DNA sequence: AGCCAGGCCCTCC
DNA sequence: GGAGGGCCTGGC
């Protein structure tokens, strides 16, 4: 089925910019796994074509709408950055890139994996976790796996998980899975909490510091003011925004600085800066290799 | 070979 | 409270 969406919609930047790690392009479609369903998407004119299994497209549509946050008015967010030429430049290049609202559990594990890593490796890690521990979903010829539940990973045992080349993150994931599976923290309920309270709750988890917690808040808990300070953003801020004195601030202090600077949609400024900076860097690398 | 990668944790001051 | 080093693994 084809659904109407807000315009414009930048599918490529939204799905492959490192917010989520289960989307891949093939044959003009983007294929992913969303809340236990294999979903294929492609643009058709101004609309978005959806195929899904095992649930049919009619029942998946509202889930996809929430996942993409189609209720969010991007133009209002863009307008809030009207005074910032740097952000405006990135918006021009990736207009229609949206911030996803993923399953918080999957998002949490994904960003625990992200520490000291890169998008390619994180993608492989998440794939291995799903294939090894996730419930199979039949999808035509090939078998695709859902993301494992907290209980699945809590019961997995570090010996089996230890083979997945997650490194020191194995223990973090295992311990965090136990916390969630035992009901000591209800991730979904954090959507109703304030940004600050939810941040504090997440930072208690093994392998979750300020950066990872802010990724989870931004990409799955509907907290647009969340601002993950990773090395890319750190560089971008140091180069383009911070004074010499401010450059020496700690990561959480830089986060506070940025949240004050960019306001209640700081997370969108973050995502556009991150994507822009990362693609620019890759482009430079490519050119230097050629020369 | 050696450094860095979308950090976190522990130690020590 | 914050600076510094270690850490699995992989890529260059």
The pLDDT tens digits of the residues spanning A211-221 come to 999 999 999 99
Comparing CA positions, the residue from A264, A262, A229, A265 lying closest to residue A247 is A229
pLDDT, tens only, A239-263: 999 998 898 888 899 999 999 999 9
Q: Is strand B within 7 Å of residue A236 (CB)?
A: no
d(CA A269, CA A258): 9
Using the CA of A117, give the nucleotide whose C1' is nearest: B5
Q: Residue A247: what pLDDT?
A: 87
Which nucleotide has the shortest C1'-to-CA distance from A285? C12
| Nearest residue by alpha-carbon distance to C1' of C3 | A250
Q: Residues A77, A47: contact at Cβ < 8 Å? A: no
Which of the 80-109 residues on chain A come under 7 Å of nucleic strand B at their beta carbon? Answer: none
Rg for chain A, CA atoms, rounded: 19
Per-residue confidence (pLDDT) for residue A280, from 0 to 100:
83
Q: What tens digit of pLDDT does each residue of A91-139 get?
A: 999 999 999 999 999 999 999 999 999 999 999 999 999 999 999 997 7
- pLDDT cut 70: percent of chain A above it: 98
| CB of A208 within 7 Å of some strand B atom | yes
| Cβ atoms of A94 and A275 closer than 8 Å | yes
- In chain A, residues 252 through 271 whose Cβ sits under 7 angstroms from any atom of nucleic acid strand B: none
Q: Which nucleotides on chain C have any atom < 7 A from a protein Cβ? A: 1-3, 7-11
Pick out the nucleotide with least CA–C1' distance to A124. Answer: C10
How many angstroms separate the CA atoms of A256 and A284, rounded?
A: 30
Is a pLDDT exceeding 50 seen at residue A11? yes
Average pLDDT on A40-49 reads 96
Half-sphere exposure of A15 (CA within 13 A, CB side): 21
* pLDDT digits 0-9 by tens, A46-78: 999 999 999 999 999 999 999 999 999 999 999
What pTM was estimated for this model as a whole?
A: 0.97
Model pLDDT, residue A57: 97
Q: Please state, rounded to an integer, the average pLDDT across all residues of chain A.
A: 94
């Amino acid at each position: 089925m084809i659904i109407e969406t807000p315009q414009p919609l930048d599918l490529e930047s939204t799905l492959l910019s490192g917010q989520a790690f289960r989307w891949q392009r093939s044959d003009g479609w983007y294929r992913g796994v969303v809340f236990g369903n294999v979903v294929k998407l492609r643009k058709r004119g101004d609309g978005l074509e959806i195929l899904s299994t095992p649930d049919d497209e009619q029942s998946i549509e509202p889930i996809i709408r929430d996942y993409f946050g189609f209720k969010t008015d991007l133009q209002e967010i863009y307008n809030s950055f009207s005074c910032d030429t740097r952000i405006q430049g990135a918006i021009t290049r990736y207009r229609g890139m949206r911030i996803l609202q993923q399953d918080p559990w999957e998002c949490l594990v994904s960003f625990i994996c992200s520490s000291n890593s890169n998008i390619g490796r994180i993608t492989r890690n998440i794939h291995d976790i799903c294939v090894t521990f996730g419930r199979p979903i039949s999808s035509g010829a090939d078998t695709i796996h859902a993301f494992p539940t907290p209980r699945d990973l809590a019961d997995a045992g570090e010996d089996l998980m230890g083979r997945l080349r997650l490194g020191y993150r194995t223990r973090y994931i295992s311990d965090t899975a136990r916390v969630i599976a035992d009901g000591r923290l209800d991730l979904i309920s954090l959507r109703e909490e304030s940004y600050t309270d939810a941040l504090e709750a997440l930072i208690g988890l093994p392998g979750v510091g300020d950066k990872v917690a802010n990724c989870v808040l931004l990409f799955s808990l509907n907290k647009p003011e969340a601002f993950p300070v990773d090395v890319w953003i750190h560089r971008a801020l140091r180069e383009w925004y911070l004074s010499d004195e401010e450059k020496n601030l700690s990561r959480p202090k830089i986060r506070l600085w940025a949240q004050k600077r960019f306001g209640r949609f700081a997370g969108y400024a973050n995502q556009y800066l991150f994507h822009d900076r990362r693609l620019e860097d890759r482009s430079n690398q490519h050119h230097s290799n050629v020369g």
